Amino acid sequence: MFDMGGPAGGDLLDQLRAGGLARPRVDPDQIAAVRSRLEHAARAHTAGLDPGTVVRVSKQDVTTILACEGHAAAERRAKRPPTQAQVLGILMDAVFRHLVTTGSAEDPLRVAREALEVDAERNADIVAYLDGLAPGPGSELARGVEAMTRALTRRWPSLPARFHPRTQERSVVSLAGGAVVLSGVLDLAIGVPDGMSARVCLVDVKAGKPRVEHRADMHFYALIETLRSGAPPFQVASYYLTDGRLDREAVTAVVLESATRRCCDAIERLCRLADGKEPSLTPNPLCPWCAARPGCAPGRQWIDRKEAHDGDA
């Protein structure tokens, strides 16, 4: 399950610090242009909504609605219980936070559960999932948490105080007078924005395999951080617990442009759904797992074609 290689200790610190990477000067005109485009999209597309409607936009919302409006609508209706992989990811986020803030990750299952119970209402489905497991430490989920924690504590360095590490920082950006709210919770932010240059590195911890949308997720976080603090991060990264790899990317003007375009597009589509419009259907690789699949002809045709193609291959 685990590749016990990957960078560790000082190597990981070097990557987080990105010593060789320039800290770009903040361009206030660029940030003003980004904010203006998002504000324009939010005002234009919320204009016809019922007063008091709030359109919430998270990284998952952006990815899902851009893949298929029908899928996004179905997932909101379905309210499916969490999968084991999702629960594992949430537990490991809590373990990671505990390790960064206390330097220890003893008894990770207990630590994670106690962290979830701090906000029991919000985490009710995860706590219910844990309550439904057979008692004792022998479950597959428990073994996964223990193994990932061992790998994490072996690799993850102690962060110096001068890094100003912050965990689970919630970022919120309101647009169109609060009619659209962009939000995200970062696993780790290091560095402090100084208003003159990009000085922050954002890190998201992943318990699963690398996926193409992870980079787009980090671009969304970079966009929120830019709007919230007035300066873009200099770097964003996904940290993969299974192999210890830190997938880093410098936050360039191209990254911010791409994130802005995707976010404007997502706002438009989410507002269409909030207005009760019929969602458009875009068959895509999510179709086999989509809650709308039984009643979605384009999705079923896509799956049939894919299965026929896979069978021929």
Give contact residues for ligand SF4 (rule: CB under 6 A): 68, 70-71, 74, 281-284, 286-287, 290, 292-293, 296, 298-299
Minimum CB–partner distance for residue 286 and ligand SF4 (Å): 5
Residue number, 31 or 303, with CB nearest to ligand SF4:
303
Running DSSP on this structure, what letter comes out for residue 18? T
Residue number, 72 or 255, with CB nearest to ligand SF4:
72
Residue number, 102 or 301, with CB nearest to ligand SF4:
301
Cβ atoms 169, 186 nearer than 8 A: yes
Minimum CB–partner distance for residue 65 and ligand SF4 (Å): 11
Residue number, 83 or 284, with CB nearest to ligand SF4:
284
- Choose among 94, 85, 166, 152: nearest CA to 123: 94
Helix (H) or strand (E) holding 168: strand 166-175
**CA gap 132, 93 in Å, rounded:** 21
**CA gap 223, 212 in Å, rounded:** 18
Minimum CB–partner distance for residue 68 and ligand SF4 (Å): 3
**Which position's Cβ is nearest ligand SF4?**
299
Residue number, 166 or 293, with CB nearest to ligand SF4:
293
Residue number, 189 or 266, with CB nearest to ligand SF4:
266
Give the tokens for residue 248: 């880093």
**What distance lies between CA 209 and its chain's CA centroid?**
14
Minimum CB–partner distance for residue 279 and ligand SF4 (Å): 7
CB atoms within 10 A of CB 285: 9
- Choose among 289, 237, 311: nearest CA to 13: 237
Long-range contacts of 2-6 (CB under 8 A, 24+ apart): 2/147, 2/148, 2/151, 2/242, 2/243, 3/242, 3/243, 3/244, 4/151, 4/154, 4/244, 5/243, 5/244, 6/155, 6/243, 6/244, 6/245
Minimum CB–partner distance for residue 157 and ligand SF4 (Å): 41
Minimum CB–partner distance for residue 25 and ligand SF4 (Å): 42
Residue number, 106 or 304, with CB nearest to ligand SF4:
304
- Choose among 283, 264, 302: nearest CA to 180: 264
Minimum CB–partner distance for residue 289 and ligand SF4 (Å): 8
